[in-house]
């Protein structure tokens, strides 16, 4: 509290106003006086004193009525009220407290009574101080929560923008490269995603495609997946591990999938500062020889669906990228048949749990794909999307969900 505490003394007796008023001033209070309840009420509304000492018995509005009026109205600060009374029976005490009085002083106030009044006033001041501290704390809380809400909203909008930018990195769906059809499904868990996928022509004979899942999700994961997207282009900018400049004709060389993995693995080793790694499938299509060369660095097993046979898992896994320095990568190379399909799914699908905490599992994806021979590639992905969304129960996904579907010519 700054300065002196303002106090209103209400009594119909001029002697008491004079005597008690003098005493209160000598204790350091800024004393206002009123001769009756209504006059007191005017002063309270105008001056907002912190403490009101009122005589119970007054001709117009008595102390009890004044206390009620104070409690029934709204004030910027707490007004501590003390009733001066000749009654010290329990019933009067209850009556006074019910009216809103905080304390009582028994009249007549003699020398001992002054000391008691002084002590009671100090107790009142402590309560006022507590009330003010609480008010201040509340005000700060509200201010803080307002600022938090603003910050949260700003972050949410930025995340949404980042999510839109990330989506723009994805290739168009339903397109063909050298006769190979590509479709994808992409559902980020919270605006931005650690999943990334792409496909592209490398030269007039070769197409390449990849799926990446950065461990974890959210902002850090999405930053790594976006920078991988920038790196993994078939443009000969001298940085891409996919296609390198060569001194002789045709002045470039296409990197085999295992070497792409090995180079990324060298570049992106985890260390104490950076604990991120990723799983990835990279594959190379040679259109004239109708061959697929595919390497898997720890993604769920890709599923191969021959046009006239049942689906099966491809390969037997591999080291994720970035965790084992001396990791050796493997690839499978084979000829594809017309209409054969390949599906690469992130673990957001196989690890998606339903309400009873059961995971969707890779086997369920495989079985589902076995019934899709008659569907088009895009219909198949929509079917997968519907089933997985139903399994998830309709809400947001816990992990990023991405599927790349490929159909060979």
Chain residues binding other proteins by CB under 8 A are: 213, 215-217, 270-272, 275-277, 279, 298, 300-301, 316-320, 323-324, 327, 347, 351, 359, 399
Q: How far is CA 400 from CA 48, 64, 217, 288, 403, in A?
A: 60, 67, 7, 35, 10
Beta bridge partners of 284: 208, 293
Closest separation in Å from C-beta 261 to other proteins: 12
Q: Distance between CA 301 and CA 347 in Å, rounded?
A: 10
**In the bound complex, what is the minimum distance in angstroms from residue 275's beta carbon to other proteins?**
5
268 with 322: CB under 8 angstroms? yes
Q: Which is nearer to other proteins, 124 or 348 (CB)?
A: 348
CB of 357 to other proteins, least distance (A): 8
Query: Measured from the CB atom, is 208 or 320 closer to other proteins?
Result: 320
Dihedral Cα 227, 229, 231, 234, nearest 10 deg: -170
Which is closer to other proteins, CB of 39 or CB of 330?
330
If the CB atoms of residues 8 and 228 are measured against other proteins, the closer one turns out to be: 228
Q: Find the shortest distance in angstroms from Cβ 354 to other proteins.
A: 14
Residues 61 and 54: beta-carbon distance below 8 Å: no
274-280-284 Cα angle (round to 5): 140
- Shortest distance in whole angstroms from residue 385 CB to other proteins: 21
Contact indicator for 268, 223 with CB cutoff of 8 Å: no
Beta-carbon contacts of 101 under 8 Å, excluding residues fewer than 6 positions away, are 63, 64, 67, 81, 82, 83
Q: Identify which of residues 183 and 195 has a Cβ nearer to other proteins in the complex.
A: 195
Distance in angstroms (rounded) separating the CA atoms of residues 221 and 276: 8
**Tokens at 294, concatenated:** 């595919």
Considering the complex, state which of residue 339 and residue 361 has its C-beta at the smaller distance from other proteins: 361
Owner of token pair 């990849």 = 210
**197/327 with CB nearer other proteins:** 327
- For 138, the token pair is 């509340």
Beta bridge partner(s), residue 33 = 9
Q: How far apart are CB 326 and other proteins at their closest, in Å?
A: 10
Q: Residue 286: count other Cβ atoms within 10 Å of its Cβ.
A: 17
DSSP-assigned letter for residue 245: E
In the complex with other proteins, the residue whose CB is nearer, 50 or 217, is: 217
CA nearest to 343, candidates 360, 365, 371, 359: 365
Give the three-class secondary structure for 111.
helix
Q: Least distance (Å) from other proteins to the CB of residue 299?
A: 8
The minimum distance between CB 316 and other proteins, in angstroms, equals: 8
Residue closer to other proteins by CB (options 99, 281) is 281
Residue-by-residue DSSP string for 352-396: -B-TT--B--HHHHHHHHHT-TTS-HHHHHHHHHHHHHHHHTSS-
Two structure tokens written together for 83: 């009733």
Closest distance of CB 188 from other proteins, Å: 15
Please state, in angstroms and rounded to a whole number, the distance separating the CA atoms of residues 381 and 372: 10
Which residue shows structure tokens 């009026």? 69
**In the complex, minimum distance from the CB of residue 293 to other proteins, in angstroms, rounded to a whole number:** 19
Q: Which is nearer to other proteins, 21 or 300 (CB)?
A: 300
């Amino acid at each position: 509290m700054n300065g002196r505490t303002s106090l209103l003394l209400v009594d119909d007796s001029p002697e008491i106003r004079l005597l008690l008023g003098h005493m209160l001033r000598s204790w350091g209070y800024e004393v206002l006086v009123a001769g009756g309840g209504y006059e007191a009420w005017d002063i309270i509304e105008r001056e907002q004193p912190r403490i009101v000492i009122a005589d119970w018995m007054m001709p117009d509005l008595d102390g009890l009525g004044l206390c009620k009026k104070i409690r029934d109205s709204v004030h910027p600060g707490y007004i501590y009220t003390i009733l001066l009374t000749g009654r010290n029976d329990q019933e009067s005490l209850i009556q006074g407290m019910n009216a809103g009085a905080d304390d009582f002083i028994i009249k007549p106030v003699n020398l001992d009574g002054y000391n008691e009044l002084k002590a009671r006033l100090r107790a009142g001041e402590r309560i006022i101080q507590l009330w003010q501290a609480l008010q201040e704390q509340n005000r700060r809380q509200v201010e803080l929560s307002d600022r938090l809400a603003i910050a949260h909203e700003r972050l949410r909008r930025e995340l949404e923008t980042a999510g839109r930018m990330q989506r723009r990195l994805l290739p168009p769906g339903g397109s063909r490269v050298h006769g190979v059809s590509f479709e994808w499904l992409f559902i980020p868990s919270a605006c931005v995603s650690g999943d990334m996928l792409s496909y592209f022509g490398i030269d007039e004979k070769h197409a390449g495609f990849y799926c990446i899942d950065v461990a974890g999700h959210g902002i850090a994961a999405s930053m790594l997946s976006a920078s991988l997207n920038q790196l993994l282009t078939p443009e000969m900018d001298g940085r891409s591990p996919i296609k390198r400049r060569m001194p002789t004709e045709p002045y470039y060389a296409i990197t085999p999938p295992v070497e792409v993995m090995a180079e990324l693995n060298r570049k992106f080793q985890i260390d104490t500062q950076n604990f991120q790694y990723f799983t990835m499938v990279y594959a190379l299509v040679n259109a004239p020889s109708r061959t697929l060369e595919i390497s898997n660095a720890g993604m769920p097993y890709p599923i191969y669906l021959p046009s006239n046979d049942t689906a099966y898992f491809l390969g037997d896994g591999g080291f994720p990228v970035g965790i084992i320095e001396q990791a050796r990568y493997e690839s499978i190379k084979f000829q594809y048949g017309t209409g054969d399909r390949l599906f690469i799914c992130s673990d957001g699908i196989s690890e998606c749990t339903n309400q009873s905490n059961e995971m969707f599992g890779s086997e369920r994806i495989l079985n589902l794909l076995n019934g899709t021979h008659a569907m088009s590639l895009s219909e198949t992905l929509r079917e997968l999307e519907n089933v997985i969304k139903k399994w998830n129960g309709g809400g947001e996904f816990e992990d990023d969900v991405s599927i790349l579907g490929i159909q060979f010519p």
